[in-house]
Structure 1
Amino acid sequence: MNPRFSERIFPTHEDAIEAAAFVSLHRLSPEHLRAEEDFGCLVINGGCAISLPSAPAIGLNRVLGLGSVEDLDKAYKWMRARAGNRFLQLNMDAVSDEVRNWIQTKGLPEHGPGWAKLTRSAPFSNLDAPVSVLARRVQGDESLLFGSMMCKGFNFPPSLAALWSTIVGKEGWSCFFALDDETPIGTGAMYVSGSYAWLGGGTTVPEFRNRGVQKALIQARTDCGIAQGVLTFAVETEVPSTDKPNISYDNLRKMGFQHAYDRKNFKL
């Protein structure tokens, strides 16, 4: 047994808040959408397995926040019975030898470059990252627009707009638009539980990219979170490389986020 693993609590706080956000997303989703889209979620010891077959993204078809073979077995069996994409995310620098052997025994191949987890702690110092785009909270009567923009940004079927619309105004959630004058051109969401917040749902209308929209949405959400007593913000994005730079990662670093660890994606 890896001694670092035996002393480590799974999931980490950074993974736990992310898992909690997706558990909440499933709980709040309309019953008809869960039935029609076969949207399922299994909660296991602070982590979860989530499956939305009609969504192409890894984020809604994965196992996260688990660190024991027993828990991974439960999630694996549940996911293997599901349709669509299926992935497992693990920080391989923190897992036990037993888990490494489990992955090899299952024959799970790595998929893509993996995800980087970044965090930022409050209070914030001043940053040399001026924000020129305005952002504001999404109003209740704009929930459908918010959901539709999210689907377009993530290339989801329009039928899933109700999934993202449902979190607007709900407990724990804060949703934002970035604006060009008064017209929404980008979206961002934040889920808060205790002193931790997860940032997600960041999209920008294609013709308005590279204008500071992401920075504006990061600033608006962190300001909102601090007002709610958040001490640590967590977010994830694709691991950058010299062959494939990641603008999202670079923007987060410019906004004061620090790299915490990487998670590899394994195909189930």
Structure 2
Amino acid sequence: MKTNLVTHAHIEIEKIEQEAWFDLFTTATDNNALNSSVTCKRFGTSVALADPTTPIFTFNRVLGLGIGKPASKAEVELAIAWMNEYAAPSYALQIASTTHPDTIEKQVQAKGLKRTGNGLAKFYRNATPAVSHPNQSSLEVKIVTPQCAADFGHVVQAGFGLPVSVIPWFSALVGRPKWKIYVAYDNSVPVACGAMYIDNNWAWFGIDATLVEYRGRGAQNALIKRRITDGISAGVIGFTAETGQPSEGEEDNNKSYSNYLLAGFNRLYIRPNYVNK
């Protein structure tokens, strides 16, 4: 029974993440004025995301291959062919551990994609109330209204060092169904942000960014706690997030990784990246 529950959690956290990212990309494709280079497509249980003007695999990847049911060879080949046409050359396929990965890995590697890096740590948390961090932040976390949507877009762009073209794209998430968008302020200055996507009583946390000069002031701890509290109020039964998996022995030195552990999240598994080189 416990194994079945763990497998169910794996599937749900993969699904909610891929739906959040697909909706994020749909936000741009619904209005090409936001970012005309962005496109996305579904292939069976998976989604493909492409933005060749932002040549990092976060914005150019396939999620969900084999989630729910094994991926067919045709599905894998169609996804790779589509990525070769629309994505930045260094795109990635991310294959979860619940998808019978041995079979998919062989197909992916036969197409020239190689496993690289440490992968992503996939976190899960139940709906128990969040506890306060020992060191309270002086920054004020607010849910973003449409009038202040650009605050979110600017922090995303500056915090991650992304092209300025992402500012209107991410700003457009404010007020979009299923999304709750947050910004932490130092007085009136927007300095950090985070987002929550809720669907079928599950919540995905992501787009966590802090301006360089404000790091170390507890912004992300406060943003995580606020999202947990608001998610529970909205009926969320399970939360998920992901960060880069640190090298062995370096976990305590990775702030993003540590922040989620301190907030009561557990790492369920590591999801590898298979990158086109």
Q: Provide TM-score, normalisation by structure 1.
A: 0.89
For the aligned residue pairs, the C-alpha RMSD in angstroms reads 2.3
Gaps of 5+ in 2: none
**Cα distance per residue 1:89-145 (max 9 Å; x no partner):** 113575243223213322311222211100111023646645323311111111122
**Cα distance per residue 1:209-259 (max 9 Å; x no partner):** 011111011011111111111111110100012465421001110110000
Q: Is the 8 A contact 2:151 2:190 kept in 1?
A: no
* 1:257 match: 265
What secondary structure does 1:63 align onto? strand
* 1:108 match: 113
* 2:104 match: 99
Q: Is the 8 A contact 1:178 1:217 kept in 2?
A: yes
Q: Is the 8 A contact 2:49 2:87 kept in 1?
A: no
For 1:183, which of 189, 195, 217 is the aligned residue?
Answer: 189
**Cα distance per residue 1:194-222 (max 9 Å; x no partner):** 11111111111111101111101101111
* 1:31 match: 31
Code of the residue aligned with 1:98 in structure 2: it is T
Q: Is the 8 A contact 2:38 2:51 kept in 1?
A: yes
Code of the residue aligned with 1:104 in structure 2: it is Q
* 2:236 match: 230
The CA deviation at 1:58 is 2.1
For 1:79, which of 53, 76, 83 is the aligned residue?
Answer: 83
Q: What is the 5 A alignment of 1:40-79?
A: 40-67=39-66, 68=71, 69-79=73-83
What secondary structure does 2:242 align onto? strand
Q: What is the alpha-carbon distance in structure 1 between the residues aligned to residue 124 and residue 157 of structure 2?
A: 26
The CA deviation at 1:153 is 1.3
The CA deviation at 1:170 is 1.0
2:131 paired with 1:123? no
Q: Is the 8 A contact 1:119 1:257 kept in 2?
A: yes
What secondary structure does 2:118 align onto? coil
What secondary structure does 1:32 align onto? coil
The CA deviation at 1:16 is 0.5
Say which is worse superposed, 128-137 or 146-155, in terms of deviation.
128-137
Say which is worse superposed, 41-50 or 59-68, in terms of deviation.
41-50
* 1:12 match: 11
Q: What is the alpha-carbon distance in structure 2 between the residues aligned to residue 24 and residue 78 of structure 1?
A: 19
Q: Is the 8 A contact 1:19 1:46 kept in 2?
A: no
Q: Is the 8 A contact 2:10 2:98 kept in 1?
A: no
Q: Is the 8 A contact 2:156 2:209 kept in 1?
A: yes
Pair 1:65–1:138, CA change in 2 (3 A): same
* 1:158 match: 164
Gaps of 5+ in 1: none
Q: Is the 8 A contact 1:116 1:263 kept in 2?
A: yes
Say which is worse superposed, 146-155 or 119-128, in terms of deviation.
119-128
What secondary structure does 2:113 align onto? coil
Q: Is the 8 A contact 2:97 2:269 kept in 1?
A: no
Q: Percent identity?
A: 31
What secondary structure does 2:25 align onto? helix
